[in-house]
């Protein structure tokens, strides 16, 4: 498996692969890989000749005071895990090589980026859309794989690809969870074992909401109230949002009369966690 450190080397390697008509699957990550990431890599391996995984903690998607500096990093372990899941090439550039001095161009997807996580993290999706555009330009993949765990991110990227006529497909893969239901995330490292148990309440509340809707509840306020009640049973839980929205445009749904996305952002102690379910 190759580890590539600069955009220039990456582009030239990809050019060679293209000449050989290789189909390229791409999995963008910030590293500290877990089974959620590996599920994307395995899927990419199934459908492509070559799998490229980027490992890059992207500074422009973190606001001041967020966890950019303490975000967990372990390249050595990541290389091993990625290889075992079928990765052929790791792209692990430095911040300096990705962001040349004084960049003036950013990519923004309006509307979708301003709701849900965008309300509390105003520039987050601009950072995400910009880094994905850059990575897609460097790697020129046929298919890029994203997790439903970050649902809003995935549909923003899908919109971006469509709006800007980018020549690739976006595939969204299901959420991989711990045994207790907690969605896997690199940030779970911040939780001690008690907090991990508390954090399983996110998925419990979502499953309960799904059951309520399945049994005929159509009023979003009632469903949200039930979620809140479940979440607040755990100590140290701070709810940032509980949203019930249309899955395509993320528009608030007062009445549940078609498919909806239920999405949560919750802080357990100081760790911000997100989760969602489609019903």
Q: Which of 78, 150, 234, 275 binds ligand AMP (CB under 6 A)?
A: 150
Q: Does 40 bind ligand AMP (CB under 6 A)?
A: yes
DSSP 151-167: HHHHHHHHHHHHHTT-S
Q: Does 242 bind ligand AMP (CB under 6 A)?
A: no
In 3-state terms, what secondary structure has residue 199?
A: helix
In 3-state terms, what secondary structure has residue 233?
A: coil
Q: Does 98 bind ligand AMP (CB under 6 A)?
A: no
Tokens 């052929």 identify what position? 88
Q: Does 29 bind ligand AMP (CB under 6 A)?
A: yes
Sign of CA pseudo-dihedral 262, 34, 137, 105: positive
How far is the first Cα of the chain from the last one, in angstroms, to the nearest whole number? Answer: 40
Q: Does 158 bind ligand AMP (CB under 6 A)?
A: no
Q: How far apart are CA 142 and CA 73, in angstroms?
A: 28
Q: Which of 175, 191, 244, 273 binds ligand AMP (CB under 6 A)?
A: 175
CB-CB contact of 45 with 51 (8 Å): yes
CB-CB contact of 206 with 227 (8 Å): yes
Q: How far apart are CA 42 and CA 27, in angstroms?
A: 10
Cβ-based neighbour number of residue 23 at 10 Å: 13
- Interstrand relation of 89-91 and 169-173 (parallel, antiparallel or unpaired): unpaired
Q: Does 60 bind ligand AMP (CB under 6 A)?
A: no
**Closer Cβ to ligand AMP, 56 or 231, answer by number:** 56
Q: Does 61 bind ligand AMP (CB under 6 A)?
A: no
* Structure tokens that stand for 254 in this block: 């007062």
Question: Minimum distance between the CB of residue 149 and ligand AMP, rounded to whole angstroms?
Answer: 4
Q: Does 190 bind ligand AMP (CB under 6 A)?
A: no
Q: In what order do the strands lie in the sheet with 50-55?
A: 2-4, 89-91, 50-55, 24-29, 143-147, 169-173
Q: Which of 48, 152, 186, 271 binds ligand AMP (CB under 6 A)?
A: 186
**Closer Cβ to ligand AMP, 198 or 220, answer by number:** 198
Q: Does 195 bind ligand AMP (CB under 6 A)?
A: no
37 is catalytic: yes
Indicate which residue of 34, 37, 124, 208 is catalytic: 37
**Closer Cβ to ligand AMP, 139 or 256, answer by number:** 139
* Structure tokens that stand for 257 in this block: 């009369």
Q: Does 141 bind ligand AMP (CB under 6 A)?
A: no
Q: Does 71 bind ligand AMP (CB under 6 A)?
A: no
Of the candidate spans 42-50, 144-152, 195-203, 242-250, the one that interacts with ligand AMP by CB under 6 A turns out to be 144-152
Q: Which of 136, 146, 190, 203 binds ligand AMP (CB under 6 A)?
A: 146
Question: Which residues here bind ligand AMP, judged by CB under 6 A?
Answer: 29-30, 36-37, 39-40, 146-147, 149-150, 173, 175-176, 183-186
- Catalytic residue IDs: 37
């Amino acid at each position: 498996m190759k580890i590539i450190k600069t955009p220039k080397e990456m582009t030239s390697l990809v050019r060679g692969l293209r000449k050989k008509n290789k189909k390229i699957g791409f999995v963008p990550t910030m590293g500290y890989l877990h089974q959620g990431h590996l599920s994307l890599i395995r899927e990419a391996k199934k459908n492509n000749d070559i799998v490229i995984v980027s490992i890059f903690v992207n500074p422009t998607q973190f606001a001041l005071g967020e966890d950019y500096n303490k975000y967990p990093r372990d390249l050595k372990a990541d290389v091993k895990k990625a290889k075992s899941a079928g990765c052929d090439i790791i792209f692990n550039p430095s911040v300096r090589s990705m962001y040349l001095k004084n960049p003036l161009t950013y990519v923004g997807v309006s509307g979708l980026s301003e709701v849900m996580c965008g309300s509390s993290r105003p520039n987050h999706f601009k950072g995400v859309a910009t880094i994905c555009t850059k990575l897609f330009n460097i790697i020129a993949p046929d298919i890029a794989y994203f997790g439903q765990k970050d649902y809003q991110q995935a549909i923003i990227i899908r919109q971006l690809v469509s709006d800007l006529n980018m020549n690739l497909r976006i595939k969204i893969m299901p959420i991989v969870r711990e045994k207790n239901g907690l969605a896997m995330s690199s940030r779970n490292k911040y939780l001690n074992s008690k907090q991990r148990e508390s954090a399983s309440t996110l998925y419990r509340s979502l499953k309960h909401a799904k059951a309520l809707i399945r049994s005929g509840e159509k009023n979003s306020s009632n469903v949200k109230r039930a979620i809140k009640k479940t979440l607040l049973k755990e100590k140290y839980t701070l709810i940032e949002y509980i949203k019930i929205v249309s899955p395509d445009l993320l528009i608030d749904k007062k009445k549940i009369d078609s498919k909806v996305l239920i999405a949560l952002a919750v802080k357990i102690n100081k760790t911000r966690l997100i989760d969602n379910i489609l019903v």
